[in-house]
Structure 1
Amino acid sequence: AQTVSVIMRELEVDKLLVRQAPLRGKIGQPSIPMALNPDGAYFIGLKIGRRSAELVLIDFLGNVRSMLQHSYRYPAPRETVEFVTSGMKTMRGELTPAQDKRIAGLGIAMPFELWNWADTAGAPRDVMDEWRHRDIRADIQAQCEFPVYLQNDATSACGAELVFGKAGAARDFVYFYIGAFAGGGIVLNGHLFGGPTGNAGALGSMPVPGPDGKPTQLIDVASIAMLEKALNARGVEASHLWTSPEDWGEIGVELDDWIACASQALAYAIVAASSVIDFEAAVIDGWMPKAVRRRLVDAVVEAIGNIDGEGLNLPAVREGTVGIHARALGGASLPLSERFLIGSTTISRSA
């Protein structure tokens, strides 16, 4: 008890804990509850996606203090660094000098080997090849006096669900994030599992049956880019898929067809993953309105019911609880996990 008291006092001196109102009414001295100090530390998260970038500032409790978004047709390194430079200037300008000194780090959530997706993303190959030769983490680290971390974007979204979401109540779950491209992550024994290279849970590359029954990858069926492609084929401008993720409005038959194909592919991916690890839950989230996410999850549950799962303990399929900003919040969770949580995530960091 004495050791705990010493630790608590040290955390209070460091302004990581704050005293609450005394609890009276019991025999002896009133007890004084302690709580995390929201201003004890701040964390910045950067999501670099195929269609947009986000910058978010959160406090020690995970509350969003500031968020900025930038949409584009495809990501370019110079444009991304400029967005981060101006965005951090704006965000840090809203903090007091004392608060600014408590920024504990910045986490980048971005797809690995982004240059390999030029054709699928409809981006110029020469621009995407710039990512092959750029160390975006080092570029951003040069602007920061605090450490900068890097992790796969879908894995980061999984980490956000674990740290900030409600699905984290499950000790073992497989996680799918449906953005411009589909991806995912794995949580084992209550910890984000990145594997030796940090690329474990690369669910977008999982083989699944395509709409024609032939093998393809999950990313080629369940990605929102496929919905965009279908809308463009009908001559419909689809930029609102990226700029208005809270409300897509009326889309029509293309959305129905996409949900049908994506849910079938996700169902096979969940069953396949369950043959390796008996997950408690399969969590699905994404860059989409909540109503669309609900429809997608319901369709996945129905599709799993039509797949032969004999010999398997299939997981409960649940909606994610963090939502559209999961990747950016997952980026912000990287320095939080590294600095303050036991059993931190698998990450890489600049020197």
Structure 2
Amino acid sequence: MDSQTFAATGNKTVGRVRGSNQTGVRAHNERLVLTLIRQHGPLAKAEIARLTGLSAQTVSVIMRSLEADGLLTKGEPVRGKVGQPSVPIKLRQDGAFFLGLKVGRRSLDLVLTDFLGVIRSRVHLTHRFPTPDGTVMFANHGIAQLLDQLSEEERGRIAGMGIAVPFRLWDWAKSLGLAPDAMDDWRTRDIRAEIESRCDFPVFLQNDASAACSAEVVFGEADGRPDDFLYFFIGFFVGGGLVLDNTVYTGKTGNAGAVGSVPIAFNGTRLTQLVDVASLSCLENAMVEQGLTADAIWANPQSWSVPQSLIDTWIEDASEGLAYAIASASSLIDFGCVMIDGWMPEDIREELVKRTQDKASSLNTAGIELPHIQAGTIGSDARALGAASLPLSERFLVDRNALMKG
């Protein structure tokens, strides 16, 4: 494995990863309270009772239970109003920990996050292409390495792990410059089950683009964000997600929101798919054609060593494709906004968003109202954080549709 930042653990056998599993699945009303505080920020008991419709006594019992379990903590009293000062209750940052594994076509990332979604530590590996054996080995060593950095009490608060992986990886061998059968092992291997067999916590799996979208919903900046939006994440291939009523809609096959497959008109005439113009593979190919190495794209998403002329050309093509895709999608669903994120430096993402806004405004969109186009709020770690959000959502949150009020 050709890693730049993966800390090797040698050939030692990595044993079963153990934890006390104290943070089990919560009862519905407890999850309801945790969901509201995550969405709204610190809340007083009276406000929680109002939002949920639960009695003040019931809310007090729930809050005491969640505080005792280390998931909530009291904030500073808010004074200046009539009566007793209000005491907001907030999430305890070290209340639970989660692992998120991103399987990318050019890199692997494993992150350890706390209850607020802050990344505590990470392991990164670049590769030519992902294999099941390499991914499982990376995960097993990485989990042991990250958990070694926690105290015994913190390890007992590991609540699960998520995996974000492109579905049907074997279909993309040709696009990666490989023999047609080079990735056939992915057809029969269940890496989720293989990794979980070495752990004492549950492991979940989701499509990588849908996971990135989940990160925006769970950890993103919710203030002013509409409940319905279309999401694009630009990695080796562009992908995305569909959010309806603040919930990621994946469909019966898990591929809803597969925006890379959207047919678009390119250069005003040629019909192609969005994936062919708005993916980082296009930028990689342009670099290779000029005799350059594309490693600079995948090693560090915060800093690229890429000729500006190639970046400008890629942004021009990608923004045109995105504009057409947004116009097409908006004719079917009345989105509140469109969010664009990706594995790229923030300044390049901002320029891509601006250019997409300009391209979209120049299209003939008579009969529809185009949504506001803006940058995502997570950044390059969206897929890994989205993976970490899977056990968090499964064990501590409720679907928005289950909220009784608010």
TM-score in terms of structure 2 length: 0.81
User: Residues 337 and 344 of structure 1 are in contact (CA less than 8 Å); yes or no, is this contact kept in structure 2?
Assistant: no
Q: Which residue of 2 aligns with 1:140?
A: 195
TM superposition shift of 1:26: 6.5
User: Residues 108 and 151 of structure 1 are in contact (CA less than 8 Å); yes or no, is this contact kept in structure 2?
Assistant: yes
Classify 1:15/1:212 alpha carbon distance in 2 versus 1 (closer, same or farther; 3 Å): same
Deviation string 1:83-140 (CA, Å, 9 cap, x unpaired) is 1111100111111122111111111111010110001122343331111111111111
Secondary structure, in 3 states, of the residue corresponding to 1:81?
A: helix
Mapped partners of 1:116, 1:211: distance in 2: 27
User: Residues 338 and 344 of structure 1 are in contact (CA less than 8 Å); yes or no, is this contact kept in structure 2?
Assistant: no
Q: Pick from 208, 217, 233: which aligns with 2:289?
A: 233
- Pairs within 5 Å for 1:143-292: 143-166=198-221, 169-211=225-267, 213-292=269-348
Mapped partners of 1:203, 1:65: distance in 2: 31
TM superposition shift of 1:213: 3.0
Q: Pick from 45, 65, 88: which aligns with 1:10?
A: 65
Q: Comparing 48-57 with 116-125, which one deviates more in the overlay?
A: 116-125
User: Residues 174 and 279 of structure 1 are in contact (CA less than 8 Å); yes or no, is this contact kept in structure 2?
Assistant: yes
* Matched residues, number: 345
Mapped partners of 1:268, 1:209: distance in 2: 7
Q: Comparing 27-36 with 260-269, which one deviates more in the overlay?
A: 27-36
Q: Which residue of 2 aligns with 1:84?
A: 139
Mapped partners of 2:335, 2:187: distance in 1: 35
- The alignment status of 1:113 with 2:190, answered yes or no, reads no
What is the root-mean-square deviation in Å for CA atoms of aligned residues? 1.8
Unaligned regions of 5+ residues in structure 1, if any?
A: 346-351
Mapped partners of 2:350, 2:122: distance in 1: 25
Secondary structure, in 3 states, of the residue corresponding to 2:398?
A: coil
Secondary structure, in 3 states, of the residue corresponding to 1:125?
A: coil
Mapped partners of 1:316, 1:23: distance in 2: 36
Classify 1:274/1:23 alpha carbon distance in 2 versus 1 (closer, same or farther; 3 Å): closer
User: Residues 239 and 258 of structure 2 are in contact (CA less than 8 Å); yes or no, is this contact kept in structure 1?
Assistant: yes
Mapped partners of 1:17, 1:102: distance in 2: 14
% same residue: 51
Classify 1:123/1:20 alpha carbon distance in 2 versus 1 (closer, same or farther; 3 Å): same
Secondary structure, in 3 states, of the residue corresponding to 1:222?
A: coil
User: Residues 246 and 400 of structure 2 are in contact (CA less than 8 Å); yes or no, is this contact kept in structure 1?
Assistant: no
TM superposition shift of 1:201: 0.2
Q: Which residue of 2 aligns with 1:60?
A: 115
TM superposition shift of 1:52: 0.5
Q: Pick from 314, 333, 339: which aligns with 2:370?
A: 314
Unaligned regions of 5+ residues in structure 2, if any?
A: 1-55, 402-406
Mapped partners of 1:95, 1:40: distance in 2: 13
Mapped partners of 1:113, 1:185: distance in 2: 17
Q: Comparing 249-258 with 264-273, which one deviates more in the overlay?
A: 249-258
